[in-house]
Structure 1
Amino acid sequence: MTSRLAKLFTNSFKLATSDLANQYALPVKSMTGHVVSKYGAASSRRLNEKVVEQMRIDENDFIFEIGFGRGDALKMCFERVSSGRGMVFGVERSGYMDEVARKRFILEIAETDKIRIDSAIDLRNLPYPTDLFNHIFHVDVFYFLRQDHLVDITRELFRVLKPGGSVTCGMQFSRLEKLTEHRILEQSQWDPMRCLQALEAAHFSDVQINYHKDAEMGEYQIISARKSLSPIQDLDPEELMRQLAMDMKKERLAVAMMNNKKEAGDC
């Protein structure tokens, strides 16, 4: 009997842990999803602040966040561009988080047109024209991207980033280690080399990881990279033509999608 109870407890623990891990990666509308997403937002709020500070956003910049969660960093970016010509864009895989953010920013979206939330189930095909953004950033996202998709996703980020623009990724090893201890993440998921190698493979420049200290949250890490002002100079001619052809197709589709959304909003 004791053995059966122990087995039942072990199986229940595995199911609960698995549910938490799934909700952390992709929150769904439920009590667990609400609690996990609130916890994730609270524990990463300071890190989001430091990442937004790192980007040194100008009021006329176009900013793109991948995986905006409950929208804390979207708000921080919006406050920096609200008085200029800039805009804040975001994509989120979770339909629940998408709904939460749209409700949170319903007035800003309707009255200012400076926050735009889009669906992008596949980050390898973003609904944006080439060379659109000054800054792209994410916190706690690349851990959940498939390894065999990561380089293609990073190449797509390279496409939509303006020459001279930056990519910034915020991490905090101490928090991620705790999530690993609780079996929410595997350490291999948040190995920063995954992100660094993908950025280099996508022809980003100045790829680096830097360690910082903050009085409130302790040590944290920021991965950063830039798109060269002459991003094509290091490509061989055949690779260049292949990428240009692919970019042209994606750009035509992206422009059509953006125009359709704008026309729908004007109706």
Structure 2
Amino acid sequence: MEKYNNVMIKNVVKLCQIQAHHAILEVGFGPGLGLQEALKYLTDPRGRLFGLDVSEYMHEVARERLGPQLASGKVHLLQGRVECIPLPDHCIDGVFHSNCHLYWPDMATATAELLRVMRPGARMLATCDLGFLRRGVEQGFFKGVTVDPRPYMQALRAVGFLGVSMEDLMDEAKSFQVIYATSPPPSTTETQNS
């Protein structure tokens, strides 16, 4: 499964346009593959990487994978749900995740919380493989999960994300989808007061 998801993870991290000094958040980091990939871009000492996952087991796996980076303070693992991200307002330059939005019970709160922690103009990207997910639903997996991306995209728009769109991509003969969204730029008043 790691190899299967790794294509999507590498692409979503690349599409995030991470700069060396950015603060980046991965939601639902699982075994830490996305965190490991994002670290390649965060070469400036100011660059920070945050991972949020509810699973203690995934925290253990990621801690093993990222031990030196955790010890140096470059990576911070946060345990919790996306509906209550333990980070201050407007501190994140980019957010990415893969498939985890399917499991968010309160989409409105989750998307509002993502927007809260993102800096103005920051990018949020999500990957999923709709073909794989639809086959899984047909075979009885993913019970109680909607694989339709439209409710997620509508929730992003409803809380104020801009440029919400979805694109079909292919890499290494694997097709998948990427959902894009951007936090609003600073308001004119905020810009004038800065």
TM-score normalized with structure 1 length: 0.67
Structure 1 pair 150–168 and aligned structure 2 pair: CA distance change class (3 A): same
- Which has the higher Rg, Structure 1 or Structure 2? 1
Q: Is structure 2 residue 151 aligned with structure 1 residue 194?
A: yes
Aligned to 1:71: 32
Q: In structure 2, give the amino acid aligned to 1:62.
A: A
Aligned to 1:113: 73
Kept in 1: contact 2:7–2:172 (CA 8 A): no
Aligned to 1:99: 60
Secondary structure at 1:137 match in 2: strand
Structure 2 distance, partners of 1:89, 1:159, is 15
Tell me which of the two structures has the higher relative contact order, counting C-alpha pairs closer than 8 angstroms and 6 or more residues apart: 2
Kept in 1: contact 2:134–2:147 (CA 8 A): no
Structure 2 distance, partners of 1:116, 1:165, is 19
How far does residue 232 in structure 1 lie from its aligned partner after superposition? Answer: 9.1
Structure 1 distance, partners of 2:188, 2:82, is 22
Aligned to 1:153: 110
Moved segments of 4+, more than 2 Å:
213-216, 230-233
Aligned to 1:48: 9
How far does residue 119 in structure 1 lie from its aligned partner after superposition? Answer: 1.2
Identical-residue share of aligned pairs (%): 26
Q: Is structure 2 residue 91 aligned with structure 1 residue 132?
A: yes
How far does residue 215 in structure 1 lie from its aligned partner after superposition? Answer: 3.8
Aligned to 2:176: 220
Kept in 2: contact 1:203–1:231 (CA 8 A): no
Deviation string, structure 1 residues 67-88 (Cα, Å, up to 9, x no partner): 0001001001111103442111
Structure 1 pair 71–214 and aligned structure 2 pair: CA distance change class (3 A): same
Secondary structure at 1:166 match in 2: strand
How far does residue 188 in structure 1 lie from its aligned partner after superposition? Answer: 5.5
How many residues of Structure 1 are paired with residues of Structure 2 in the alignment? Answer: 189
Q: In structure 1, give the amino acid aligned to 2:185.
A: L
Q: Does 47-56 or 79-88 show the bigger shift?
A: 79-88
In structure 1, the gaps of 5 or more residues are 1-38, 234-267
Deviation string, structure 1 residues 92-140 (Cα, Å, up to 9, x no partner): 1111111111122111111x211100111x3222111111011011101
Structure 1 pair 79–215 and aligned structure 2 pair: CA distance change class (3 A): closer
Q: In structure 2, give the amino acid aligned to 1:168.
A: L
In structure 2, the gaps of 5 or more residues are 190-194
Secondary structure at 1:80 match in 2: coil
Deviation string, structure 1 residues 141-177 (Cα, Å, up to 9, x no partner): 011111xx11111001101000010110001112212
Aligned to 1:170: 127
Kept in 1: contact 2:7–2:171 (CA 8 A): no
Aligned to 1:184: 141
How far does residue 186 in structure 1 lie from its aligned partner after superposition? Answer: 4.7
